[in-house]
Structure 1
Amino acid sequence: MIKAIIFDLGGVLIDWNPRLLYRKIFNSEEQITHFLDNVCTPDWNEEQDAGRSLADGTELLVKLHPEHEDNIRAFYSRWTEMLGGEIKGTVEIFNQLKNDDRFKLYALTNWSAETFVIAEQEYPFLKQFNGVVVSGVEKTRKPHAEFYNILLNRYNLKAEETVFIDDNLRNVKAAIDLGIDGIHFTSADDLKTALQKRAIL
Structure 2
Amino acid sequence: MPIEHIVFDIGKVLIHYDPNIPFSHLIPDAAERKWFFENVCTHDWNVEQDRGRTWAEAEALLIEVHPDREEHIRAFRKHWHEMVPHSYDDSVAIMEGLIADGRDVTMLTNFASDTFREAQVRFPFLTKPRGVTVSGDIGLIKPDIAIYETHAKSFDLNPAATIFIDDSAANVDGAKAAGWDAVLFTGADKLRADLAGRGVRLSP
**Is TM (by shorter chain) over 0.5?**
yes
1:88 aligns with 2:84: no
- How many angstroms apart in 2 are the aligned matches of 1:196 and 1:183? 12
Corresponding residue number in structure 2 for 1:14: 15
Q: 1:59-117: per-residue Cα shift (whole Å, max 9, x none)? A: 1011122222111110001111111211111111111111112x210110111112111
- How many angstroms apart in 2 are the aligned matches of 1:40 and 1:50? 16
| 8 Å Cα contact 2:52/2:113 also seen in 1 | yes
Corresponding residue number in structure 2 for 1:72: 73
Between 28-37 and 166-175, report the one with greater CA deviation: 28-37
| 8 Å Cα contact 2:164/2:172 also seen in 1 | yes
What is the number of residues matched between the two proteins?
200
Over the matched positions of the two proteins, sequence identity in percent amounts to 37
User: Match for 1:192: what amino acid?
Assistant: R
| Aligned-pair Cα RMSD in Å | 1.2
| 8 Å Cα contact 2:3/2:199 also seen in 1 | no
> What does 1:52-131 align with in structure 2 at a 5 Å threshold?
52-101=53-102, 103-131=103-131
**SS of 1:179 mapped into structure 2:** coil
The structure that is strand-richer by fraction is 1
**SS of 2:86 mapped into structure 1:** strand
**SS of 1:164 mapped into structure 2:** strand
Q: 1:143-189: per-residue Cα shift (whole Å, max 9, x none)? A: 11111111100111111110001111111101111111111111222
Residue 196 of structure 1, CA deviation: 1.9
- How many angstroms apart in 1 are the aligned matches of 2:187 and 2:68? 38
TM-score, length basis structure 1: 0.95
Runs of 4+ off more than 4 Å: none
TM-score, length basis structure 2: 0.94
Residue 5 of structure 1, CA deviation: 0.5
Corresponding residue number in structure 1 for 2:47: 46
- How many angstroms apart in 2 are the aligned matches of 1:198 and 1:21? 40
